[in-house]
Amino acid sequence: MSPSVFFGRYFDGRISTPVPVAMRFEGDVLVVVAPDFERRAARGHYRLPERTEQGQPIIHLRGGGQVEADDVGALWRAAREGGLRESFASLMSQRWSLALLALALTIATLYAGYRWVLPWAATLAAPLVPAMIERSLGQEAIDWIDDGLAAPSRLPQARRDEIQARFSRMLERAGEGPAPGTLLFRSGVDIGPNAFALPGGVILVTDELVEAAAEVPSDMPDEALLGVLAHEYGHMRGHHLMRRLLKVSVLAVATSALWGDVGTLAAIVPTILGGLDYTRDLERDADREAARILSAASLSVEPLITLFGMLGEDVGAGVPQGPDWRRYLRTHPMTGERIELLREGGR
Amino acid sequence: MERLPGVPSGGGAPPGAGGRLRPIVFTGSGGEYFRIWIVNLLLSILSLGIYSAWAKVRRQRYFHRNTRLAGSAFDYHARPAAILLGRIVAAAGLVVFVVAAELQPLAAVGLLAAWLIGLPWIVHRALRFRHANTSWRGIRFGFLGTVGQAYRALMLPVLAWMLVAGCAVGLALWQGSDAVLGLVLLAAGVGSYALLPLLHYRLRRYHHDNACLGMLPARSSAGAGMFYGVYLRSLVLAVALVLGFIVLLAAGLVAVAGISNAIEVAATAPGGAPAVAGLGMVAGAAGWFAWMMVRPYFLARMQNLVWNRTRIGPHRFVSRVKVRRLWAIRMSNFVLVLATLGLFLPFASVRLARYRLQSVQVAVLGDLDRIEGGERERIAAFGEEAADLFDLDIGI
């Protein structure tokens, strides 16, 4: 059987004059036959076009020159006879069923990347961030807080030393090494009763928090405050801030690569929602860690739970039983869930 | 959205120019491009971005080969490996910048200045790469502009932009402690934006005066005044829209709350901060609204201006993009892309490309069959990819 012939117009790359040609494959050698010449191209010396509905199928010849084929179907019929195959990507793009499969796989991959791969990679990478960078970030945060958000602490030095000593003793009893976290006291002008774990091993505590915690009845002195500090220590120990920073940066890059074309808004919203979601996971982690430390130091979680109840937990926690979608707009897990987690871990 | 740089995507002869009008025909379909796009996306994600270079070539080939003039399609020749290398270099540069900005803001300012000073060179490389890799009937486009010309054309406005960046940094450092100096800096910053149309004009002239199809050189006859005209009319339109938006909003507030309540709410906003924040949000919303509404006007007028005043050899272009039609396409695209979480994106690209390309005709004077090819060259893709990464639109 003689090989299938297909037709097209040859251009030599030197002039735009079309030359009608007939083509065939002899094995995988492409033969281009024009009225006054014949060109043969071995495999690897020509590039066949992808099969599309209306697009011009163009064969590139190495060393210049190209052929516009009249019919992509005839081209590939002949090429298949010569033992050539279409690319994987091209085959997948030709059928709706395969394209929709690609869509499903894309969504599954994105979800898995967001849910498992990214947190895993961030957990792995966060401790590797040089201490210098963490410290400089922490100092930046302190400067920012000191610049109007908070004022110097009004607590007597003796009281501060007492809290620091109790905090260190609790950590020691929980087996957390000799000199773990440093407490930094501030009077929270705009931030109210609050505590933050800053990068670089510093936990910032406001006077207002110390005062609020003192109102919680407890068996041991400062039990509620120690609970909050244990929670913040959990953030610190797990490099949560750095993990979050890494995750959110990757998320921002990925969403802008995916949706950046549409507009800034489309790229920002998933980043914020995703960032909040991660934050909730980290809060759960820190709660678990707090429960562990408290229990190891023979302290109770109940004062901490009472304190969270008093302070309304955090942003958005004013609605105790909101509709489910609200969960995605909150930084901390919902109250009931959280109490359960603490009690379970504290046992 | 999709760009077909180097491809004369506008066309048609001005009245009286003579020549046969040949339409540019776009044959791509949204459904087909969706299938290519989703497979590209999947493979790019699975390969951690490496495939994106191959994806770009597939995408560019799809759009080029579906764009026809006189029965022949355009074509795209870039090698994926070159694009990948360009992307790696550009991305590495971005990472260095981000890390430097985090650790040492002053170093970042230096890098930013270096980037701005390097900008004309990048534009030059990007244009060379794009043109050298685009062809029609086997004849490559080319770009003959030199680096020196790029600097002569662009350096003044770029320096002015550096002034803007300097102003921003200066303002941030001063933090309003010296109000007069702050105002002067601000005025200088805003003033340098008056150079934007000039920069755009010079970029276009640099591009269109130095491009060629084989031995046929392109020429542009647009003037700087025309660019200022389009920019000014867009600005006036935007300001009018912002004012209208605010009036409408105020009217809505009054209608809902009653006039006395609205005034009371405005007057008694506690602490001023929420009121200021609210005002900022309204201003932001108004600005965004105006941007969305005016951009199609700007793009349509700009495409028509640029292409109606460009010729390649004896052939001229006639571009007849209608503002209303482009507006409708862009608006519906935006809504549909948002509503489908991005899945409409490939359909949107095809719709937009089809309209913009089919609005162009070429007034052919003489013979399209006798265009001679020039020398072929291989250009590294760094400039193109750097321009892409930083969203520097040097295309249509």
Q: Is residue A243 part of a domain?
A: yes
**Distance (Å, rounded) from C-alpha B272 to C-alpha B267?**
9
Query: What pLDDT is stored for residue B349 in this prediction?
Result: 92
Number of folded domains that form chain A: 2
Assess B138–A contact: CB distance below 8 Å, yes or no. yes
Show the DSSP H helices in chain A as ranges: 72-81, 88-93, 96-112, 118-125, 131-144, 157-173, 207-214, 223-237, 240-259, 264-296, 302-311, 335-346
- Residues A127 and A270 reside in one and the same domain: yes
- Residues A162 and A211 reside in one and the same domain: yes
Of B7, B3, B15, nearest to B363 by C-alpha is: B15
The pair of structure tokens assigned to A196 is 């933050």
Per-residue pLDDT averaged across A285-310, rounded? 84
Give B-chain residues touching A59 at CB under 8 angstroms: none
| In chain B, residues 146-175 whose CB comes closer than 8 Å to chain A | none
**Residue of B62, B138, B214 with shortest CB distance to A55:** B62
Q: Is residue A99 part of a domain?
A: no
Work out the number of other CB atoms within 10 angstroms of the CB of residue B381: 27
**Distance (Å, rounded) from C-alpha B224 to C-alpha B161?**
18
- Residues A80 and A175 reside in one and the same domain: no
Query: What pLDDT is stored for residue A102 in this prediction?
Result: 95
Instruction: List beta partners, residue B23.
Output: B361
- Residues A173 and A297 reside in one and the same domain: yes
Of A36, A63, A87, the residue that ends a domain is A87
**Distance (Å, rounded) from C-alpha A215 to C-alpha A201?**
28
- Residues A52 and A175 reside in one and the same domain: no
CA B357 to mean position of chain CA atoms: 16
Q: Is residue A110 part of a domain?
A: no
Instruction: List beta partners, residue B142.
Output: B212
- Residues A125 and A82 reside in one and the same domain: no
Choose the weakest-confidence range: A186-190, A330-334, B164-168, B391-395. Answer: B391-395
- Residues A55 and A152 reside in one and the same domain: no
Q: How far is B29 from chain A (nearest CA, A)?
A: 8
The pair of structure tokens assigned to B319 is 């571009």
DSSP H or E stretch at residue A22: strand A19-26
For the stretch A111-156, pLDDT in tens is: 898 888 888 888 888 888 777 777 877 887 788 778 777 788 888 9
Residue A195 has pLDDT above 60, yes or no: yes
Q: Is residue A100 part of a domain?
A: no
Query: What pLDDT is stored for residue B275 in this prediction?
Result: 55
Give B-chain residues touching A49 at CB under 8 angstroms: 61, 65
Assess B20–A contact: CB distance below 8 Å, yes or no. no
**Distance (Å, rounded) from C-alpha A237 to C-alpha B116?**
42
Question: Predicted confidence band at A312 (pLDDT cuts at 50, 70, 90)?
Answer: low
- Residues A73 and A192 reside in one and the same domain: no
Give A-chain residues touching B370 at CB under 8 angstroms: 15-17
Helix axes A223-237, A264-296, angle to 10 degrees: 120
Instruction: List beta partners, residue B318.
Output: B361
Do the strands A182-188 and A202-206 form a parallel or antiparallel pair, or are they unpaired?
Answer: parallel
For the stretch B122-142, pLDDT in tens is: 888 888 888 888 999 989 898
Of A87, A103, A134, the residue that ends a domain is A87
- Residues A183 and A305 reside in one and the same domain: yes
Which pLDDT tens digits describe chain B residue by residue (396 residues)?
333 343 443 333 344 445 789 999 999 999 999 999 999 999 998 998 889 899 999 999 999 999 999 889 999 998 898 888 888 888 888 788 777 776 777 777 788 778 778 888 888 888 888 888 899 998 989 888 899 999 988 887 777 777 776 776 666 666 555 666 667 766 766 776 788 888 889 989 999 999 998 888 999 998 999 999 999 999 999 889 888 888 887 787 777 766 666 555 555 554 444 555 666 677 777 778 888 889 999 999 999 999 999 988 899 999 999 999 999 999 999 899 889 988 999 999 999 999 999 999 999 988 888 888 876 665 665 666 666 554 443 333
Angle, vertex CA B68, rays to CA B62 and CA B71, nearest 5: 130
Residue A104 has pLDDT above 90, yes or no: yes
DSSP H or E stretch at residue B230: helix B224-257
Residue A263 has pLDDT above 80, yes or no: no
Query: What pLDDT is stored for residue B277 in this prediction?
Result: 60
Query: What pLDDT is stored for residue B377 in this prediction?
Result: 60
Residues B120 and B356: beta-carbon distance below 8 Å? no
**Tell me, what's the ipTM?**
0.78
Burial of B120 (0-12, 13-18, 19+ CB in 10 A): buried
The percentage of residues in chain B with a pLDDT greater than 70, rounded to a whole number, is 76
Per-residue pLDDT averaged across A174-187, rounded? 76
- Residues A318 and A192 reside in one and the same domain: yes
Q: Which residues contact A119 (CB under 8 A, 6 or more apart)?
A: A243, A247, A278, A281
Per-residue pLDDT averaged across A100-118, rounded? 91
Q: Is residue A62 part of a domain?
A: yes
For the stretch A2-49, pLDDT in tens is: 788 999 999 988 899 999 999 999 988 999 999 999 999 999 899 999
Distances in Å between the Cα of A213 and the Cα atoms of A187, A194, A226, B123 are 15, 10, 9, 61
Chain A residue closest in CA terms to B389: A257
Instruction: Determine the structural domain holding residue A193 and report its residue range.
Output: 121-346
Task: Verify whether the Cβ–Cβ distance B139 to A15 is below 8 Å.
Answer: yes
Give the type of residue at B79. R
Q: Is residue A255 part of a domain?
A: yes
Assess A57–B contact: CB distance below 8 Å, yes or no. yes
Which letter, b or e, does each residue of B301-321 get, where b requires 16 or more Cβ atoms within 10 Å of its Cβ?
bbbbbbbbbbbbbebbbbbbb
- Residues A160 and A63 reside in one and the same domain: no
Interface test with A, best of B39, B59, B95 (most A CBs within 10 A): B39
Q: Is residue A93 part of a domain?
A: no
Q: Is residue A109 part of a domain?
A: no
Query: What pLDDT is stored for residue A264 in this prediction?
Result: 54
- Residues A247 and A126 reside in one and the same domain: yes
Residues A269 and B342: beta-carbon distance below 8 Å? no
pTM exceeding the 0.80 threshold for the entire prediction: no
Q: How far is B137 from chain A (nearest CA, A)?
A: 5
**Distance (Å, rounded) from C-alpha B153 to C-alpha B207?**
10
Where does A146-207 show beta strands of DSSP type E? 150-152, 182-188, 195-198, 202-206
Of A72, A87, A102, the residue that ends a domain is A87
**Distance (Å, rounded) from C-alpha A14 to C-alpha B73?**
17
Of A39, A77, A83, nearest to A57 by C-alpha is: A77
Choose the weakest-confidence range: A132-146, A270-284, A317-331. Answer: A317-331
Query: What pLDDT is stored for residue A219 in this prediction?
Result: 81
Of A158, A145, A287, nearest to A202 by C-alpha is: A145
End-to-end CA distance of chain A: 83
| In chain B, residues 317-336 whose CB comes closer than 8 Å to chain A | 334
Of B265, B69, B71, B228, nearest to A68 by C-alpha is: B71
Give A-chain residues touching B142 at CB under 8 angstroms: none
Query: What pLDDT is stored for residue A278 in this prediction?
Result: 67
Q: How far is A334 from chain B (nearest CA, A)?
A: 27
As a whole number, the mean pLDDT across chain A is 81
Query: What pLDDT is stored for residue B319 in this prediction?
Result: 92
Assess A123–B contact: CB distance below 8 Å, yes or no. no
Task: Verify whether the Cβ–Cβ distance A56 to B72 is below 8 Å.
Answer: yes
Assess A259–B contact: CB distance below 8 Å, yes or no. yes
Residues A22 and A6: beta-carbon distance below 8 Å? yes
